[in-house]
Structure 1
Amino acid sequence: MEPKGVLSPEALSKFEEGVRLVFSRWTALQMAVQNEWGGRTSAQKAHQLTVDVVAWLAHSTLPRYIDELEEMLDENMLLSFNTETEDGSLEEVAEQLMLLHEECLQGNYETISKLQMSGSAVQSIAQSQQLSKDDSEDDNSSEEGQPTLEMDIDTDRQNATTDKVESSTADNLNENDIADGWSVVPSRRKRGQNKS
């Protein structure tokens, strides 16, 4: 029998899978990877985060606390992906990971099975982007389905304002870099001259 607090080989394997599944459904992380907010190695950074979290929770003899995990995730998102999460997802992810670890310690893999059956995260992100696009198209239409003049004018003003903001920002963030509750933080490093 394994010592208390140590995962069996089977439980460790399941826990690793569970961490991957949770991260694959974390929209902030997946958007950071897809848009390469952490550079060309964004996918490798996400994989390393999985490895680090598994090691931190599963291979430690010290008690682990959720606030420490939240801090670890927050720091990683900021340093690796220049992304600050303020949408509450970081806390939810940390809670899910702690719960998965506890369940795996007890040999309970029910949550992991549910995650496996719930579908792909990339599909979820694509669907949420499409829904967001559909919603914005609906918002820009009148009852007859035609764009309203007022919305067109507001959009032009917003675009002019956005152009001014972007030209004054060193990193020229695009509009997809800022979403509900989280945003890309400009790199502290100076960027080289743009190549033509």
Structure 2
Amino acid sequence: MASGQVAKSLLTTPTQQARFELGVCMAIYDWEALSVAVQNFWGGPESADKRDWMVGSIVELYEQQQEVDSEDIEDRLLQIMQDEFEVVVDDDSAYGVAEGIVRIFGQCTEGDFSLVDSLYQKYLNKANRPSAPVNVTEQVDYVSSDEME
């Protein structure tokens, strides 16, 4: 499915639906801006739950609307980031995630799960890698120029 193209097909089997949901999950879990927000608890102690809720919100968008395009998904992603994590994402990464989700939907409607499988394998590889601990030794409070005077 071409970038920005409207998704019109329906997922007709439980397998297609399940794989689409997994694909949305993997696309959102792979989004660096959201990962940083969750790791730093910018959405509070329930940041990981908010990320999972975001996945459901995108899947629900497809259930509520007959046609969904990249801009619809991007708008929802950005709104959730702002409302739930108090983060304004302005690097166009949300659009990339949205385009990926549109591609996942298009492939799943055709019974092609290669992109979902690839994203899932990437997730498993990342999850099995030991992560370096992050030690915060000091929190810096930024002072505005008005406060310095």
SS at match of 1:107: coil
Q: Which residue of 20, 24, 32 corresponds with 2:29? A: 24
Partner AA of 1:87 in structure 2: D
* Aligned CA distance change for structure 1 residues 42 and 113 (closer, same or farther; 3 Å): same
Shift in Å at residue 117 of structure 1?
Answer: 2.0
Matches within 5 A, 1:1-196: 5-7=9-11, 8-57=13-62, 59-60=63-64, 62-118=66-122, 119-120=125-126, 163-165=142-144
The CA RMSD over aligned residues, in Å, is 2.7
Count of residues in Structure 1 that have an aligned counterpart in Structure 2: 131
Gaps of 5+ in 1: 131-158, 169-196
Shift in Å at residue 23 of structure 1?
Answer: 1.3
Counterpart-to-counterpart distance in 1, 2:112 and 2:75: 27
SS at match of 2:88: strand
Shift in Å at residue 123 of structure 1?
Answer: 5.5
SS at match of 1:68: helix
Partner AA of 2:27 in structure 1: V
TM-score (norm 1): 0.59
Shift in Å at residue 39 of structure 1?
Answer: 1.0
Partner AA of 2:61 in structure 1: W
- Relative contact order (C-alpha < 8 Å, sep 6+): which is higher? 2
TM-score (norm 2): 0.77
* Aligned CA distance change for structure 1 residues 164 and 21 (closer, same or farther; 3 Å): same
* Aligned CA distance change for structure 1 residues 74 and 121 (closer, same or farther; 3 Å): farther
| Contact 1:73–1:90 under 8 Å retained in 2 | yes
Gaps of 5+ in 2: 1-7, 135-139
* Aligned CA distance change for structure 1 residues 123 and 82 (closer, same or farther; 3 Å): farther
* Aligned CA distance change for structure 1 residues 83 and 121 (closer, same or farther; 3 Å): farther
| Contact 1:5–1:61 under 8 Å retained in 2 | no
Shift in Å at residue 163 of structure 1?
Answer: 4.7
Partner AA of 2:19 in structure 1: K
Partner AA of 2:143 in structure 1: K
Percent identity for Structure 1 against Structure 2: 26
CA distances 1:132-152 after superposition (whole Å, capped 9, x unpaired): xxxxxxxxxxxxxxxxxxxxx
SS at match of 2:111: coil
SS at match of 2:45: coil
Shift in Å at residue 66 of structure 1?
Answer: 1.4
